[in-house]
Amino acid sequence: MSTTATRSPLTGGCLAAVIAGGLVLLLSAMAALAGAGLTWASSKQDDGYYTTDHERIATSTYAVATDDLDVDGARGALGRIRVDVDADRPVFTGVARTRDVDAYLRGTAHATLTDVDFDPFEPSYRTTRGSAPARPADQDFWAATGNAGKPLDWKVRDGSWSVVVMNADGSAGVDVRVSAGASFPWLDELELAAWIAAALFLGLGATLLTGGLRLSRRPQPSSPAGSAWAA
């Protein structure tokens, strides 16, 4: 009696292993796509920040302030925020608690940035009438400041915050080009995890798939030619 390797139908454990292997390989492909997307996103960083293009912000009043930015619970997701301003005259940018900004701009003529459409870029403002504010650089409540030569760079903290852009001398007629950026320190870790998962799923899926196919080709006993007649 001899044995020959023949392929039997995929049933039972063999079929389950092949199906499981295919599904795990699909997970590997999805993890690889995620890793590739995160790698592409990382290549778009500017000094570790994901930034917007410079867009025009303008008002005939004395200041442009963002609406209340509530970042409670977001400190772990956002590392730092950067605001880069280009202008034809000296400007001031600052970030402070919303309550302090509201108190500073109360009774002054200023514009509050309430909404932004990005395609195309079109900001919406709520304009308040009033008098001129004190010079921004003379205030001591700013958490971080910048100007046309030095971007505002701020480590995110919990609370309600507002960003203010003004002319450095506090005069009316603010006309600037602003780029905002944020750093996400957890994205690098997520990128690495995606590639590791892709490699692990690839190895496990290949093992299950080849194991199931190999079991389906297990040796089958066969009788020599003419043995039945000899009996």
- Mean pLDDT value across the chain: 80
DSSP, residue by residue, 52-94? PPPEEEEESSSEEEEPPEE-TT-TTT--EEEEEEE-SS-EEEE
pLDDT at 92: 95
pTM > 0.85: yes or no? no
**Whether the predicted pLDDT of 220 surpasses 60:** no
State which amino acid sits at residue 45: Q
Q: Is the dihedral of CA 156, 162, 168, 169 positive or negative?
A: negative
Q: 98-117, pLDDT tens digit by residue?
A: 999 999 999 999 999 998 88
> How confident is the model over 13-41, as a mean pLDDT?
76
Q: Is 168 left (phi over 0), alpha (psi -120 to 50) or beta?
A: alpha
Highest mean pLDDT among 5-14, 50-59, 124-133, 151-160: 124-133
Q: Are 100 and 141 in contact (CB under 8 A)?
A: yes
* Per-residue model confidence (pLDDT) at position 16: 74
Average pLDDT of the segment spanning 73-84: 69
If pLDDT is split at 50, 70 and 90, which confidence band does 230 have?
A: very low
Q: How far apart are CA 18 and CA 22, in angstroms?
A: 6
More confident residue, 46 or 22: 22
Report d(CA 152, CA 85) in Å as an integer. Answer: 9
Report how far residue 151's alpha carbon sits from residue 35's, in angstroms, rounded to the nearest whole number.
Answer: 31
DSSP class of residue 143 equals S
- Whether the pLDDT of residue 172 is over 90: the answer is yes
* pLDDT of 200 above 70: yes
Q: Which residues of 57-83 are buried (b: 16+ CB within 10 A; e: fewer)?
A: bebebbbbbbeeeeeeeeeeebbbbbb
**pLDDT above 90 for 95:** yes
What element of type H or E holds 50? strand 50-51
pLDDT surpassing 70 at residue 176: yes
Residue 227 binned pLDDT confidence (cut-offs 50, 70, 90): very low
Higher-scoring residue by pLDDT: 216, 70? 70
